[in-house]
Amino acid sequence: MTNLWMDIKHADVITVMGGNAAEAHPCGFKWVVEAKAHNNAKLIVIDPRFTRTASVADLYCPIRQGTDIAFLSGVAKYLIDNDKLQHRYLAAYTNAAFVVKEGYAFDEGLFSGYSEDKRDYDKTTWDYEIGPDGYAVVDETMQHPRSVMQLLKKHISIYTPEMVERICGSPKETFLKVCQMIAETSSPEKTMTSLYALGWTQHAKGSQNIRSMCIVQTLLGNIGMLGGGMNALRGHSNIQGLTDIGLMSNLIPGYLNIPIEKEPTYSDYIAKRQFKPLRPGQMSYWQNYNKFFVSFQKAMWGDKAQKENDWAYDYLPKLDVPTYDIVRGFELAKQGKMSGYVIQGFNPLLSFPNRAKMTEAFSKMKFVVVMDPLQTETARFWENHGEYNDVDPSKIQTEVFELPTTLFAEEEGSLSNSSRWLQWHWQAQEAPGECRSDIEIMSALFLRIRAMYKRDGGAFPDPIVNLKWDYAISHSPTAIELARELNGYTLAPVTDASGTTIPAGKQVDGFAQLKDDGTTACGCWIYSGCYTEKGNMMARRDNTDPGDRGIAPNWAFAWPANRRVLYNRASCDPEGKPWSEKKKLIEWNGKQWVGFDVPDYGATVAPDKGMGPFILNQEGVARLWTRGLMRDGPFPTHYEPFESPVANAAFPKIKGSPAARIFKGDLADLGTSAEFPYAATSYRLTEHFHSWTKHSKINAILQPEMFVEISEQLAKEKGIAKGDWVRVWSKRGSLKAKAVVTKRIKPLVCDGKTVHVVGLPQHWGFIGETKKGWHPNTLTPVVGDANTETPEFKAWLVNIEPTSPPADRQRTV
């Protein structure tokens, strides 16, 4: 989230699209209710289903899954065509006036530089025109034909209300009402917040779904504002923390990058990360990358990371491909090129697409290690459970090790929530049986592996044997020790920007004190400030909220720097005065920036210095145009899901996202609308949490068995009655479930064709207290987002028919 949960109460318009907050985030949804009750906020819900969120909305608009970009591009076109823009914000705080270099083009759904063989772009023409002074060329009138604003107008011109209706199935009149309500927040006195979740991210163009709303919010001036922002609703208690501390194949903690093979030396690596400002007076805070990186290396390898060995740069792996994500990983496993897999706290047999492929991949491994407090289907993938898991155990030689772990209530530590808050929790009870914490298990594995390398050597044992490991109890580091390490500390006396000298061995106050000379160590720069010499900032529980802004600055710790609203300098005009007094977050008092939040800006940098508010960007401003930072284009473009019930009405020659990676075998596994005519999607229920709570008796009682939601019209067409058993199948698999015939789903008319939506909740398997069932990922295709490789879980094709119950559910007389 750019903002935070409590901030939602200040929104004037709330758009829920790509999520279902009332059911999937019921505690956080109270702030939506608060906004409606006390701020007269209007709630808009755009979703294929009439959800519980939609049931309390002021306006509900149906949409076909996978068409969000067309819808939001239509909204952006409406705002521009009707002059519903925050003009001063747009001119001062965005790249609308930047001029793009000659050679850029967009034709028939493809940007300039496309290679069909590589399924990739040469992005050379996607950059700005650079002037003789070394800075990006700007036309403040925004009239230059190659200005970002003019290119945006041209790019989205196709998305008329009529085209939106053709693509999305959203009625034109309802779409225009959505536009009108959103447009009201172009006034500086009003703001809109965007709430989204996996309904946006789990598509082959998921990143561009989010970018589309970013463009809308930027045109309206809603980024950095109280009650505004782009707010991702995290569904798992620590999924935010997972990405923060770099548990991705291409990341180092704090969103730094793992080197690639083309960066064999430290100088090669750091030369690409200088982030020179593209406009005069800009900060580009990523210019401090070297400080963050060196401090991380010191935290990892201590005295073994020195300037003379380039801070142990050679200890880091060098990627030969952009990512080793799950899609690539299990493709390699299917080919027999992955010997083993260590699974820590998730259930990939159900969580990853195309379950048949997952089973085949696991069956070719030598070993699988499952660390989990609960029994999972993955740990039992080799075991026959009849038609629910119809495998032959005698043909599977994979050795499975199950290591029972503690639950969060059986240990202390921190969780990072959607608001970027690091909140400390304390141990409530001892773990049962032989359970150990993840920390203890990983420590034991590391110590044994290190001992083996010390004894037997290896091709390059240095990164393992030299890893800094100076915890008080080596086999059981404490959460506090790790938190202090993540925060960062001095290794020698350090003088900060204020002239204060910090002695060696002290916790730093924040990332501004980190150095690139080896005198500081920090495990994750964005977490710096979470555990200082003042103590555990994450454990704070003062909910005092000055100005009733929803900030509560002394509750826990928010990264970065305890800042609650990112880009909050943009909440003020270029002179430093709030756009709206009732929306005030910070302001310039003539000497410094003051207010309710930590300024996302230099505290004493005067407004007349001309430094933009988006200090992590080289431009210093928000990006309507992303240059070459997105693999699939500098602007979002509507592409159909790889399995779609209709052709691309905007660009008929294009199937799927042209830059999305898909492997040959997965391409062959795609179905067609002739064989699979219905558009399927998956989602969660309030009564369950992923596949955890099917182990809980009370949750199993609340939602005991899998079901499939279909419309009354489709039920009539297929001869399906409420409660009937149905078979749902795709090119990749088949499942059985009870039919729920509902008014919550209605047919859509897309480009003249009736499209039926089939909804599949995702909480059942063949292990647990619930009745046995299937997961929707039995059916989903293996194709990833062009930028993140997140699989396309939310839009694929199926067929459906009445069927007999599973063998164990058939009644006997």
Instruction: Count Cβ atoms below 10 Å from residue 424 Cβ, excluding itself.
Output: 21
Task: Report the candidate in 246, 114, 263, 84 with the shortest Cα–Cα distance to residue 176.
Answer: 84
Q: Both 205 and 260 in a single domain?
A: no
Range of the domain at 340: 236-417+420-490
Residue 459 included in any domain = yes
Q: 378 and 299, same structural domain?
A: yes
Helix (H, G, I), strand (E, B) or coil at 711: strand
Pair 226, 254 in one domain = no
Q: What is the pLDDT of residue 812?
A: 58
Residue 428 lies in a domain: yes
CATH of residue 346: 3.40.50.740
pLDDT tens profile 509-538: 999 999 999 999 999 999 999 999 999 999
Same domain, 306 and 183: no
Residue 108 lies in a domain: no
pLDDT for res 281 = 86
Tell me if 674 is assigned to some domain. Answer: yes
* CATH code of residue 69: 3.40.228.10
Q: For the chain, give me the number of helices (H) and strands (E)?
A: 22, 33
Residues 272 and 320 occupy one common structural domain: yes
CATH number at residue 737: 2.40.40.20
Question: Which domain-ending residue is among 463, 490, 517?
Answer: 490
Q: Residue 768: phi, psi to the nearest 5? A: 125, -170
Do 564 and 551 contact (CB within 8 A), yes or no?
yes
pLDDT of 235 over the 80 cut: no
Q: How far apart are the first and last CA of the chain?
A: 56
Tell me which of 227-231, 495-499, 678-682 is least confident: 495-499
Whole-number Å distance between alpha carbons of 85 and 76: 10
Listing DSSP states for 94-140 in one string gives BSTTBBBPTT--EETTEETTEETTTTEE--GGGSBPB-TTSSB-B-T
> What is the rounded distance in angstroms from the CA atom of residue 399 to the CA atom of residue 203?
34
pLDDT at 813 over 60: no
189 contact partners, CB below 8 Å, separation of at least 6: 580, 582, 583
Domain match, 294 and 182 both:
no
In terms of DSSP bridges, do strands 725-729 and 734-742 run parallel, antiparallel, or are they unpaired? antiparallel
Asked if residue 148 is part of any domain, the answer here is no
Same domain, yes or no, for 192 and 274?
no
Q: Do 198 and 266 share a domain, yes or no?
A: no
* 167 lies in the same domain as 22: yes
Nearest to 750 by CA among 599, 654, 620, 641: 641
Tell me, yes or no, whether 446 lies in a domain: yes
Is residue 190 in a domain?
Answer: yes
Considering 472, 490, 508, which residue would you say is the last residue of a domain?
Answer: 490
Under the banding of pLDDT at 50, 70 and 90, the label for residue 407 is very high
Among 235, 262, 282, residue at a domain's last position: 235
pLDDT tens column, 747-803:
999 999 999 999 999 999 999 999 999 999 999 999 999 999 999 999 999 999 999
Which residues, listed in sequence order, are joined to residue 45 by a DSSP beta bridge?
16, 60
Q: What angle do CA 250, 252, 254 make, to 5 degrees?
A: 120
Handedness of CA 449, 451, 453, 455 (dihedral sign): negative
Please say whether the beta carbons of 79 and 183 come within 8 A.
Answer: yes
**Average predicted confidence (pLDDT) for the chain:** 96
pTM passes above 0.95:
yes
pLDDT above 80 for 141? yes
Quote the pLDDT of residue 234.
87
In which band, very low, low, confident or very high, does the pLDDT at 671 lie, cut at 50, 70 and 90? very high
Task: Say how many C-beta atoms besides its own lie within 10 A of residue 587's C-beta.
Answer: 19
DSSP state of 697: H
- 171 and 61 within one domain: yes
Out of 119-123, 468-472, 612-616, least confident range: 612-616
Alpha carbons 331 and 772: distance in angstroms, whole number: 28
- Rounded alpha-carbon distances, angstroms, from residue 719 to 709, 711, 712, 754, 801: 14, 12, 10, 18, 8
Residue 229 falls inside a structural domain? yes
Residue range 282-330, pLDDT digits in tens: 888 899 999 999 999 999 999 999 999 999 999 999 999 999 999 999 9
Q: What is the pLDDT of residue 789?
A: 94
Q: Sorting pLDDT into bands at 50, 70 and 90, what band is 616?
A: confident
pLDDT number for residue 12? 98
Tally the domains of the chain. 3
256 and 397 both lie in a single domain: yes
Q: Does the pLDDT value for residue 665 go beyond 80?
A: yes
Same domain, 241 and 211: no
